[in-house]
A and B are shown apart, each in its own frame.
Chain A
């Protein structure tokens, strides 16, 4: 197995809510369910204003192969279907549902027929499950491998390396059986013979519990990983558990590995067992501006402000609100934004933490290079970007950057390295497109 682990950085854990089992929040008066909560084509709404919907009812079909269906998390009446602007900057239609508070379960709910690989993948697709660790990639597409004999290892991601977030921890505690049964499903239908559950050492109970559950099972092993950020990043986790390197432009499956988040797996298992699709999420609500940090279960589409209100409101004026953790989370522009499928935390920060220190000149200290898990050289990337040298960006392998934020976090000059990398990637994309076009012209 991997001898040397990839480097990363120590960040404060702040797992304040690890001991807090999820509370269920009462349904809000209105939910807004966007059609774009995953990577790929937006889902196509199949309901219209005035339609009655129930919990678990399909309200939108997958809009293509790389896409995912969407189900209602509430019972009530569709008010309107209208475009909204998401935090990602993307515009997408959203279904607004006025809730009736009954939470009547749809009559359509029934466990799916699953007997082989094909029907398993179909069930995953119908469950509406996407990468819940944050990526939001449709899980059915990820698991739909052409040849299951190519799978050498499946890694269950329970690292949860971002500060504050404990929703995966809660899954591993409260739904341990679901995760374990999900692993059995992977064994059965994906023919998996080597399953590794990767958990950071700051969650010793989870490690102990899974070790006990799979005692004597040769095919499942728990990897206790150092609590180093970004342990849970796909490429880092793969390297640190299997020793494999995912080459540039390739997917984990190309090296025989699949990574699946523990909460994602539990959601799939739940659907196959009960027929209840993904329509609600357990999220961590925390941050310096939140009165009562909690883990709570909310219907997808619940407005961010309703969630905070349930947690006792704000103790200080919030200046920055995040979907996800402080290292990779996305800043929410306004509190009317909804909870998405892949939202695992909502964090609110007051003035002090919201404002980052000002940029100053790079002092060439090399800390960014030393911190990058993928061994990139952020300081050189920044220079190449400023000089508008896409050739250099290409040679520096900017495309590998996973925007984990280690470099920016450690930079004493507060350089906006992740931001520069994002801009650099755009520069590199247009350069590579031009290069490709020129090559084609030659032919």
Chain B
């Protein structure tokens, strides 16, 4: 009789894996890619492809050089690539997109220990670095035909000239902005998919979007436009829900979402930048370890020590 395998229980395993989760995120991001193509044309696909290839390639290369196990098959680098691309204007020079990808994967993810160890969201951090380094190209927006030439956020702020697009156009994504952030419809479809597949919990997006809505309503800043402007929906569903850089408890996720919403509104209304989603997520990323610790569930029956 051959030797039996002896291992510690449990001997059963749920089918969900890191790879299946990341695959679900990619699927959820797909409608926004279709929207980007329809709104901004083929270059949106090119920028996305360049980011994905540079992210996956740099992860592979880094791990190879460092003698670390190869992890590109977990698809997390591909997710980072897509998210970064969605945060860039469609006209971004490709070499800048490559540099952004390197920052995301090498600096923000790998130097902090790889998947699960990074304290900040790689795509968001890379976007902010690019915004500082390439502020010209990063704020040169391409507008779909027949749409006014200022972003809705600058119009809302009273800085840009022109009129707001119709709400219906906003919902479909016919407005200026980063290539993957404009279509509320596509992002909501993707977000719903993530919720149904239980990849994310409702806590972060609801708290984030809800806070922005309530605050802008109170401030009289056209909440219906605020929700669909800038990168709010992309951020709330896809980036403020990143596992490693956000709290791992549901109550923590609520706090995280509220914090993001608060900072976003502060920046949008009073800050120097028109958009605050990226900054708000990055700031809350920094607070994550404390939120996680604060909201850690109390073990059932645990005595005080």
Residues of A at the B interface (CB closer than 8 Å) are: 6, 9, 11-12, 163, 235, 239, 245-250, 305, 317-322, 326-335, 349, 353-357, 360-367, 369-370, 373-377, 379-380, 394-397, 400, 403, 405, 408-410, 412-414, 416, 418-419, 422
Contact = CB atoms under 8 A, between A and B. Distances in A.
Nearest to B303: A248
B300 A365 contact: no
B300 A400 contact: yes
17 contacts: A6-B300, A12-B12, A239-B300, A246-B301, A320-B4, A327-B11, A353-B11, A355-B5, A360-B71, A363-B18, A363-B243, A365-B21, A366-B243, A376-B297, A405-B10, A408-B9, A409-B10
B5 A328 contact: no
A335 B5 CA distance: 12
A369 B116 contact: no
A320 B300 CA distance: 34
Given A246-B301, A361-B115, A400-B300, A419 B8 contact: yes
Contacts of B117: 361
Contact of B5 (A305, A331, A357, A360): A331
Interface string B111-124: 00011110000000
Nearest to A322: B11
A362 B17 CA distance: 11
A366 B243 CA distance: 8
Given A335-B4, A363-B18, A366-B249, A235 B12 contact: no
B6 interface: yes
B272 interface: no
| Dominant secondary structure at the A interface | loop
| Dominant secondary structure at the B interface | loop
Contacts of B7: 320, 331, 356
B296 A318 contact: no
B74 A380 contact: no
B132 interface: no
Contact of A414 (B13, B114, B297, B300): B13
B297 A331 contact: no
A334 B5 CA distance: 9
A247 B248 contact: no
A356 B300 contact: no
B11 to A, nearest CB: 4
Given A331-B6, A379-B248, A361 B299 contact: no
Contact of B248 (A235, A319, A365, A409): A365
A436 B8 CA distance: 30
Given A248-B303, A395-B305, A416 B297 contact: no
Given A364-B116, A412-B18, A329 B305 contact: no
A160 to B, nearest CB: 16
B244 interface: yes
A365 B242 CA distance: 8
Q: Which 7 A-B pairs have the closest CB atoms?
A: A366-B248, A405-B10, A397-B299, A375-B297, A397-B302, A326-B12, A419-B8
B246 to A, nearest CB: 8
Contacts of B20: 412
A93 B244 CA distance: 51
A357 B17 contact: yes
Best-buried of B7, B11, B76, B300 by chain A (most CB within 10 Å): B11
A245 B300 contact: yes
Contacts of B299: 248, 374-376, 396-397, 400
B240 to A, nearest CB: 14
